[in-house]
Chains A and B, each alone.
Chain A
Amino acid sequence: MSRISVDIGGTFSDAVYVNNEGRLFHGKGFTSHGEYGRGVMEAIKALGVDVHDVEVFPHGTTVALNAILEGKTAPTGLITTRGFRDVLEIARYGRKDMYDLQQQKPKPLVSRIWRLEVSERLDWQGIMLQALDPNEVRERLRQLCDGGIRSVAVCLLHAYRNGQHERMIKAIAAEEFPELTVSISSEVAPQWREFERTSSTILNASTAPIVCEYLVSLTGGTMDVGMRAPILVMQSNGGVMSAEDAKVRPIMTLMSGPVGGVTGAAQLARQLHLSKLMTLDVGGTSADVALILDGEPVMSTESRVGDWPILTHSVAIHSVGAGGGSLIRIGPGGAFRVGPESAGSKPGPVCYDRGGQEPTVTDANVCLGRIDPLYFLGGAVVLDAEKARCAFEENVLPTLNLTVEEAAEGAVQVINTIMARAIREIAVARGHDPAEFTLLAFGGGGGLHAALVAAAVGMRRVIVPPLPAHFSAMGILGADMRHDLAQMVLTRANQADLNGLNNLFSELRQQGQQKLTLEGFRTDYIQFGHSLEGRYVGQDETLTVPVSYPLANVETVTTEFADLHRQTYGYDLKSPVEFVSLRVTAIGKASLIQMPDHGANSKTAVPAATRIRRTYFGELGGYVDCPFYERYSLPANLPVIGPAIIEEEASTVLVPPGWKAYADSHMNLILDAQGE
């Protein structure tokens, strides 16, 4: 089956194509902000392949995310329970900075004028205290319509327990106000905490028209080039969904890009049987880390986009402001600082010679000789190493009694420490010791930092997949179709009705089956996962316990919950267990991508360096002769001993002293720490 995937990045849109024989092609287009579809089509054209027979076209899109970050969402109205229209603006009293008196609170996503109330009320168990009046609903919808509002978010108190009132509002709107697009909280984010749920629902409503317009235009673009494959969109949960679903639940696309890489990592973890894997995705401005356990990404139910919380079931990604563009500066009191401010893609690092004045991490790597200025992007761009050196001399050296190389290597050490901290934070928060993990590094800058970051947290193995700069697009290419279905139940385990739970599971399974069948999946390609979210009564956070269907008894679930609690938090309790919600994951399996075996060079006896460059390593006393290798010329399974640099078109891998590297038979580069 031939497929194309595209990942829209900040500067470039990456396309990857696999034909029927498993041959890979990749292409790039410039991302044009505001016209993302154009960048996608450019990247597809750059592949230079015939797209008529493409059968699957999944892609990762940042359209909704960027609209939120740039404050360019569609005007939206809110309908909520009487007495609660200000929940959004109160925002739990949160502040951004602990001390700063001059800070501002983020402007509410919906201004107070368009936050309207209806009389109705449910209690904490979802029992109705006051009925909804359809006429009042009509009045409110009319008000919004007359004000020119077309997107409406509905978030009523305790709707995560009972969505009936919200569905009534949606039905009235659909029948009598067809010009309105309505998002309801019980469908978008059926979880408690009214502020976070309101924020999620509004973000969904306010990005829906933008995503819709984008998908319509992209469909036009693909039709023009004769591509008939339906457009699929990468979701934050690691699966893809249809364009029609994406128009209704754009909030599920918010982590679309970074999740692509994590999904690819999960596929690789399954292929290589790695039970504990962490990802390190280093771009220009940030480094993203995620955990993969037994081939599945670790998920979270709450995350943030810009200033706003969202409650969706998403791959847990921890992001820190550390990347190739991170600025190296002298801070207050003569402190040496790297990031989180970044030179971004404009003006970019000094060595790009596009107006950057302050040195960045990429400049540091150039000064150390680890990036060859003549081989950047395969030689397509020549970097100005001299300008990078000058930037250090002018900005950093006057206060630091050091050489350019010492300062540059110091900056790399600092940024590595920051990335290592991010890795520790995400692992430790879930009760894991990072030293037990393998690190998978990708993104343009992953390979340059991974081994040293791994060493800092006690990891001994790093993997750099083929085409690391296109890894997100690769991950999207192999992603399964996925629908996450949930129902809040809030019942004590000892009072739970087994048949009732199984009936709910069965209902959710049917919903999933229906969707996947409509999307063209044969029954033998459909899989289900089942889980219960539980907590001890009185506790706030929940743990997700995978269960088998049908449930045989409740006691096993409670025992497994206690086990999981002990593993995660280090203890369990005698308190009663409460089931909060029930989840079904319906998956339409994508067929596996057959990666070609390692090619022609496997007969070569020893790895041959393409050239030797003077490269700086403080621990070796300064400059040493360092061999540079061309990645795809390396013979399989024969080690390269560090220090060494392994290059490919859009990425560089550093094999530090004390490490060795070899290419495995799947073209992955494996780096191992040597000795004790």
Chain B
Amino acid sequence: MQDKVNPIMVEIIRNKLTAIVREASTALYRAAFSTIVREMKDYSNSLHDASGNLVAQAEGIPIFLGSMSHPLYALLDKYALAEMEEGDVYISNDPYLGGGTHKNDINVMMPYFVESNVVLFVVSKAHWMDVGGKDPGSWSPNATDSFQEGLTIPPVKLYSRGRLIREVEDLILQNTRLQEINRGDYLAQIAACFTGRKRLDALFTELTWPIVQESIKELNLQSELAIRERIRNIPDGVYHGIDYVDSDGIGETPIPVEVEVRIRGDEVEVDFSRCPSQSLGACGNSALPRTVSAVRTAMRAILAPDLPSNQGLFEPIRIVAPKGTVVNPEPPAPVTLGGLVGRAIVEAILFAFSEVAPERTMAGQFGGTFSCLFTGLNPRDNNIFVFLQVAGGGWGAKHNADGISTITSINNGFMVDCPVEVLESETPLLVEQYALREDSGGDGQFRGGLGVRQDFRVLSEGVYLSATMDRYRIPPPGVKGGLSALGNQVVIKQDGLETIHNLLNRLPVPEGAIISQQSGGGGGFGLPLNREGASVREDVLQGYISPLKARTVYGFGQG
């Protein structure tokens, strides 16, 4: 192949690098065993340079974007490149020391060598269903320190020169509740890294490292130039946004996530200095790597949904996140459910941009990861089961269109639900209803998307329910006069009584009880009275809004 770098070579190398990370992802997906990886696609694979910066990433979950680099930064703080050897593989999950997101997300990292120098890293991240800690599933809204949330794995060596270090594997797996499933998933992650290495070997039979290195620089530069141009098109100024997490899982006080976005020329500064001190509970903290990726997710959604993922995209973005706050807590604050603060960060930034570029944003969406986690003994095989359903909900209305109904949270990307027919075959649950929630969208000239309800009947004794959510007290807001939407809730029906719940930590649910997971809608855009009559009529006809609402909120059908 040619030996000079030009835009054509750069494009060819971009395609080849994309193929490599996708192939690693295929290897992971094909070998993985857990439902969350196989059905819900909670994993990602990426390539990084020797200083940890992102080179290429397979499509997966946006919140992994950018957070993939942090485990490497931590690894490189601890180990010098010079002490790494071919065939070494490292593992970590410490959210402070480079885990990135939460302890369930296990990073597997492999240095890649050209002429005995580390030039790249292959990284694979996947959500394990259990990493120990106080509750099955390692999913505890009321945790008050990080130790309750599971085993801490600092960056440690798992393979030395191609050979598994059995002691490390034992130590990790025996501190988890689902050893066999976890073993299957981590072997799949290892397979992904080895696949990546094999494909890189093939790449370097036709290309030299200097050419690839130069091309990676060019790719970063292309992304950087493109995003700088788009930032320049937004007027200079200081814009404010605020959003809330209802509770940290312990207290009842909402946590404000306040952001100041400063645009100067082709640079953006995102400042969280006004955010409160770190929370006691697990729902109220986002470890710094997650904060960084939330900012990047927001900036990409607003400015660059179409550009390839690499470090260049992030160059013009500066983040100020003071230590000891909810967006950069200090250990051992609990952070497993930091996705809720992460969600609020994304939307606070969207609201800030709504002031100046409403055509690029939307009204409030239904919330962050709204999960119901069922655990217990499965009477069909007498094994422990852990089943997690993450609900979608409504997205906010836009300046020219209604919001999307029943879609994953902004931060959760291509994650999908577990089908009813699959979950009923694998758990002692029977779904009685899976339907749109009428009237859950925020009203406005453009209506927010609808949320959803899924009702599970519990078919056996000894089942426990944990639930995580936000936006149950402070609903998804509308913008420009649009109204807020219904929020999230879990309704439990037993013995003829209905009770409304929000965060739940291992609540026993008796046989016969019905658990209704009800997600919120998206906020409206513009005044409801400006909505076209035909749209209101159609909404009533389809059952998206009730006739009562059509009359009282939209003044429809009067006179």
**Hey, which bits of chain A sit against chain B, CB under 8 A?**
83-87, 89-95, 97-105, 111-113, 123-124, 157-158, 160, 192-195, 332-338, 399-402, 406-407, 410-411, 413-414, 417-418, 421, 424-425, 428-429, 431, 490, 537-541, 568-571, 618
Contacts and interface: CB of A to CB of B under 8 A. Distances in A.
B222 A332 contact: yes
Contacts of A334: 7, 222, 225
Contacts of A192: 419, 421-422, 425
A94 B436 contact: no
Contact of A157 (B312, B362, B420): B420
Contact of B223 (A105, A333, A410): A333
B12 A413 contact: yes
A371 B434 CA distance: 57
A93 B362 contact: no
A193 B419 contact: yes
A83 B22 CA distance: 38
Nearest to B392: A93
A92 B421 contact: no
Nearest to B404: A105
B224 interface: yes
Contacts of A570: 31, 191
A417 B10 CA distance: 12
A333 B228 CA distance: 9
A193 B422 contact: yes
Contacts of A104: 401, 404
B12 A414 contact: yes
B153 to A, nearest CB: 24
Contacts of A418: 15
Contact of A89 (B10, B27, B31, B406): B406
Given A101-B302, A413-B8, A84 B433 contact: yes
B531 interface: no
A417 B12 contact: yes
A243 to B, nearest CB: 34
Grouping DSSP codes into helix (H, G, I), strand (E, B) and loop, the B interface class, with mixed when no group exceeds half, is: helix
Contact of A92 (B10, B417, B542): B417
Given A85-B435, A194-B421, A410-B7, 4 more contacts: A97-B305, A338-B11, A421-B18, A539-B33
Interface in B263-308: 297, 300-302, 304-307
Given A332-B307, A334-B7, A421-B18, A91 B406 contact: yes
Interface in B2-45: 2, 6-12, 14-16, 18-19, 22-23, 26-27, 30-31, 33, 35, 38-39
Given A93-B407, A101-B398, A104-B401, A414 B225 contact: no
A127 B395 CA distance: 38
B225 A99 contact: no
Contact of B226 (A90, A332, A336): A332
A99 B11 contact: no
Interface residues of B, number: 85
Contact of A193 (B187, B225, B410, B421): B421
Given A87-B434, A105-B405, A334-B225, A540 B392 contact: no
B426 A538 contact: yes
Contacts of A103: 404
Contacts of B234: none
Interface string B389-428: 0011001001001001111101001111101111011100
A102 B11 contact: no
B10 A90 contact: no
B6 A333 contact: no
B437 to A, nearest CB: 10
A675 to B, nearest CB: 16
B201 interface: no
Nearest to B401: A104
A98 B23 contact: no
Interface in B90-129: none
Given A105-B405, A113-B541, A400 B6 contact: yes
Nearest to A99: B305
Given A93-B416, A336-B7, A538-B426, A99 B436 contact: no
A123 B424 contact: yes
Going nearest first, the 5 A-B pairs with the smallest beta carbon separation are A410-B8, A93-B392, A333-B222, A332-B226, A333-B226
23 contacts: A92-B419, A93-B406, A93-B415, A95-B407, A99-B297, A102-B360, A104-B401, A112-B543, A124-B421, A158-B424, A192-B425, A193-B419, A332-B229, A333-B222, A333-B312, A337-B11, A399-B7, A410-B7, A421-B18, A429-B30, A569-B30, A570-B31, A571-B187
B432 interface: yes
B430 interface: yes
Interface string B531-543: 0000000000111
B302 A83 contact: no
Contacts of A157: 420-421
Given A113-B541, A417-B16, A421-B18, A90 B305 contact: no
Nearest to A413: B12
A121 to B, nearest CB: 8
Given A84-B434, A85-B435, A95-B407, A414 B15 contact: yes
Contacts of A425: 19, 22-23, 26
A100 B305 contact: yes
B452 interface: yes
A106 to B, nearest CB: 10
B361 interface: yes
Contact of A99 (B10, B18, B62, B408): B62
Contacts of A336: 7-8, 10-11
B432 A83 contact: yes
Contacts of A123: 424, 430
A407 B420 CA distance: 52
Nearest to B191: A570
B436 A90 contact: yes
B434 A414 contact: no
Nearest to A570: B31
A95 B419 contact: no
B113 to A, nearest CB: 22
A256 to B, nearest CB: 28
B297 to A, nearest CB: 7
A424 B222 contact: no
Interface string B300-339: 1110111100001000000000000000000000000000
B49 interface: no
B59 interface: yes
B529 to A, nearest CB: 25
A249 B362 CA distance: 42
Interface string B181-217: 0000001000100000000000000000000000000
B221 interface: yes
B523 to A, nearest CB: 13
Contacts of B16: 417, 421
A98 B61 CA distance: 8
Contacts of A537: 381
Contacts of A113: 541-543
Contacts of A160: 421
Nearest to A571: B31
A112 B405 CA distance: 13
Contacts of A538: 33, 426
B19 A424 contact: yes
A157 B391 CA distance: 20
A158 B395 CA distance: 31
Contacts of A406: 8
B421 to A, nearest CB: 4
A440 B191 CA distance: 31
A406 B9 CA distance: 11
Contacts of A90: 392, 406, 417, 434, 436, 452
A91 B392 CA distance: 10
Given A333-B226, A336-B11, A124 B432 contact: no
B433 A83 contact: yes
A537 B35 CA distance: 12
A620 B142 CA distance: 69
B541 A98 contact: no
